Chains A and B, each alone.
Chain A
Amino acid sequence: MTLFALFLCFLQIGAFSFGGGLAALPLIQQQVVTLNNWMSMSEFTDLIAIAEMTPGPIAVNSATFVGIHLFGIKGAIVATLGCILPSILFVAALGFLYNKYKKHYLLEGVLAGLRPAVVAMILSAGISIFLIAVFGTELNSFNIYAIIIFLCALYFMAIKKVNPILVLLLSGIIGGGFYIFMGLPI
């Protein structure tokens, strides 16, 4: 087990995961748990929880976590750099083409077709996060508090134009306070 092997492993994850986030997790599991035995399945479950609960892209958080687990801060840096290197190379190549041919009618056609589909995909991702927040992961419970917070947050951000970072912070405090006073998570 070397730093270089860790780098190569996350280089592959960076290169072969499309979409990222939760979509990258099966790939990470395969590399880290099944192929290399760097982590047990229960350690990997902790990894998913922590990667989802901390800010930053989930795949990057996972890379950092695996790196720290194996080699400390050195490992964290190597794993995350491996994770982003393919993006930098692919994007530099495609970005060059995009800037050069942005006005070409074929690329205009491609983008005109993709734009509405991407908005639909974002909407669908938003709806699935919302459903989990309100109805739980198994969709078998109903959380009225989540709906109230959702509507309040929407009102303050969209109509009152309150800074979203402030709303985010407040919702975290409300969530934590909720547990202190009610003895159960939101």
Chain B
Amino acid sequence: MNNNKVSLVSLFTSFASIGAITFGGGYAMLPFLEREVCDKRAWIKNEELLDFYALGQCTPGIIAINVATYIGYKKRGFLGALFSSIGIIFPSIFIITIISALFINFQDNQYVISAVAGIKVVVCALIANSIYRLVKKSIIDKTTFSLFIIALICLFIFKINIYLLILLSIIAGLVIKKVKKELSHAK
């Protein structure tokens, strides 16, 4: 994969198109990112996208912007980061400007409310589909499966803070790596 082939303009247009169709931002953006950046453009692999979500979650800033910026940075350095993040905000500026200029009480319009309700359901289906693909690619052995189940239990039953979960996962990852290293030395 030749990194120089990705133009700044294509970074901008790709992320602008993602920004224009993402309802909800952050995790809701994942299915469209996968489709555009992994499948269509082949800029990064699905596993890398998951890394960028992990890093984007730990980096200060809005997660949707962080993920876009990581991808842009990876392809074209600082300028790539700039063009990707400006791409993702461009539709927001455009759409919100139009709505606030033309539609008074847009948020109270029953047709709009109902249309958005329909769209939100499909966003769930999209996320479900992406999660299935992610689980298949990243929950690959006993270790990752156990970590996944423990994280789910922490989130749903103990309702732990997301940053505590991140910290614990990092510690668990380091400990497992260390143990595996020791074991391979012992052999």
Identity of the chain A residue whose Cβ is nearest the Cβ of B66 in the assembled complex: A87
**Contact between chains at B176 and A172 (CB < 8 Å):** no
Q: Judge whether A35 is part of the interface by a CB distance below 8 angstroms.
A: no
- Return the contact of B62 from the options A14, A50, A64 (Cβ within 8 A): A14
- Return the contact of B127 from the options A20, A46, A95, A122 (Cβ within 8 A): A122
Q: Judge whether B102 is part of the interface by a CB distance below 8 angstroms.
A: no
**Contact between chains at A55 and B127 (CB < 8 Å):** no
**Contact between chains at B50 and A174 (CB < 8 Å):** no
> Which residues of the partner chain A approach B121 to less than 8 Å between Cβ atoms?
133-134, 146, 149-150, 153, 171, 186
Minimum Cβ distance to chain A for residue B152 (Å):
5
Minimum Cβ distance to chain B for residue A24 (Å):
6
Identity of the chain B residue whose Cβ is nearest the Cβ of A109 in the assembled complex: B177
The residues in A between 92 and 149 inclusive whose CB is less than 8 angstroms from any CB of B are 92, 94-96, 98-99, 105-106, 108-126, 129-130, 132-134, 146, 149
**Contact between chains at B152 and A124 (CB < 8 Å):** yes
Q: How far is the CA of A76 from the CA of B96 in the complex (A)?
A: 9
**Contact between chains at A112 and B20 (CB < 8 Å):** no
Identity of the chain B residue whose Cβ is nearest the Cβ of A79 in the assembled complex: B93
**Contact between chains at A20 and B89 (CB < 8 Å):** no
The residues in B between 102 and 133 inclusive whose CB is less than 8 angstroms from any CB of A are 106-107, 110-132
**Contact between chains at B55 and A56 (CB < 8 Å):** no
Q: How far is the CA of A99 from the CA of B52 in the complex (A)?
A: 11
Q: How far is the CA of A158 from the CA of B64 in the complex (A)?
A: 24
Q: How far is the CA of A15 from the CA of B19 in the complex (A)?
A: 20
Q: How far is the CA of A46 from the CA of B31 in the complex (A)?
A: 28
- Return the contact of A117 from the options B35, B81, B166 (Cβ within 8 A): B166
Q: How far is the CA of A178 from the CA of B116 in the complex (A)?
A: 12
The residues in B between 52 and 94 inclusive whose CB is less than 8 angstroms from any CB of A are 53-66, 69-70, 73-74, 77-78, 81-82, 85-86, 88-89, 91-93
> Which residues of the partner chain A approach B106 to less than 8 Å between Cβ atoms?
50, 53
Q: How far is the CA of A116 from the CA of B91 in the complex (A)?
A: 32
Q: How far is the CA of A105 from the CA of B177 in the complex (A)?
A: 7
**Contact between chains at A17 and B62 (CB < 8 Å):** yes
Q: What is the total number of residues of chain A having a CB less than 8 Å from a CB of chain B?
A: 93
Q: How far is the CA of A18 from the CA of B106 in the complex (A)?
A: 29
**Contact between chains at A84 and B89 (CB < 8 Å):** yes
Q: Judge whether B6 is part of the interface by a CB distance below 8 angstroms.
A: no
**Contact between chains at A19 and B63 (CB < 8 Å):** yes
Q: How far is the CA of A86 from the CA of B112 in the complex (A)?
A: 33
**Contact between chains at A172 and B177 (CB < 8 Å):** no
Minimum Cβ distance to chain B for residue A107 (Å):
10
Listed in ascending order, the chain B residues whose CB lies under 8 Å from chain A are 19-32, 35, 47, 50-51, 53-66, 69-70, 73-74, 77-78, 81-82, 85-86, 88-89, 91-93, 95-97, 99-100, 106-107, 110-132, 134-135, 138-139, 143-145, 147-148, 151-152, 155-156, 162-163, 165-166, 169-178, 181
Listed in ascending order, the chain A residues whose CB lies under 8 Å from chain B are 14-21, 24, 46, 49-50, 52-61, 64-65, 68-69, 73, 76-77, 80-81, 83-84, 86-88, 90-92, 94-96, 98-99, 105-106, 108-126, 129-130, 132-134, 146, 149-151, 153-154, 157-158, 164-165, 167-168, 171-176, 178-180, 185-186
